[in-house]
């Protein structure tokens, strides 16, 4: 199965969900329009209206699949609700538990869910929760290390 079969993008190039002020609609749409998978970054505070705006602005710039990253350690429930209501292609989560309930909610919305993990234990938990893929993080994660 090729990349398109896994997540719906043409090339195996992924633009990470950098800070909210960096991974904006223009960058994400440019990556998506070039055949890669771009990720918006959800704010680190509850702002579902901003999340919807980011998604809709990106959709105005591309008809290709894209995702959004959410740091689960920050308030996120309302943002995730908005993301799933918008039927985003891929939800990437980090710094928190990717629970079976969250995976179920994502799949009910037709959204793929990919946690970023920093340990074998977290990878095994994610697989048990039913995620679609896993991002394995090493020491090179810009200082945001959660495992070895």
What is the mean predicted confidence (pLDDT) over 23-39? 92
Asked if the model's pLDDT at residue 27 lies above 70, the reply is yes
Instruction: Provide the 3-class DSSP secondary structure of residue 138.
Output: coil
Domains and CATH numbers, the chain: 14-136 (3.20.20.70)
The structure's pTM equals 0.89
Confidence of residue 5 (pLDDT cuts 50, 70, 90): low
Longest distance between any two alpha carbons in the chain, whole Å: 40
Q: What is the pLDDT of residues 58-84, one digit of tens each?
A: 999 999 999 999 999 988 999 999 999
Q: What is the pLDDT of residues 92-140, one digit of tens each?
A: 998 888 999 999 999 999 999 999 988 889 899 999 999 999 988 766 6
90-94 and 14-15 beta bridge pairing:
unpaired
Q: 18 exposed, middle or buried (CB, 10 Å; 0-12, 13-18, 19+)? A: middle
Q: Please report the pLDDT score of residue 1 as a whole number.
A: 39
């Amino acid at each position: 199965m090729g990349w398109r079969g896994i997540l719906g993008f043409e090339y195996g190039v992924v633009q990470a969900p950098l800070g909210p002020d960096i991974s904006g609609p223009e960058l994400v749409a440019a990556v998506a329009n070039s055949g890669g998978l771009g990720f918006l970054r959800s704010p680190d505070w509850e702002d579902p209206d901003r999340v919807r705006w980011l998604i809709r602005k990106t959709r105005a710039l591309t008809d290709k699949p894209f995702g959004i990253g959410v740091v689960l350690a920050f308030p996120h429930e309302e943002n995730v609700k908005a993301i799933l209501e918008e039927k985003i292609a891929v939800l990437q989560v980090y710094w928190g538990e990717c629970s079976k309930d969250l995976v179920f909610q994502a799949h009910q919305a037709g959204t793929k869910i990919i946690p970023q993990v920093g340990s074998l234990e977290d990878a095994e938990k994610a697989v048990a929760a039913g995620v679609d893929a896993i991002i394995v993080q090493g020491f090179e994660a810009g200082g945001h290390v959660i495992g070895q």
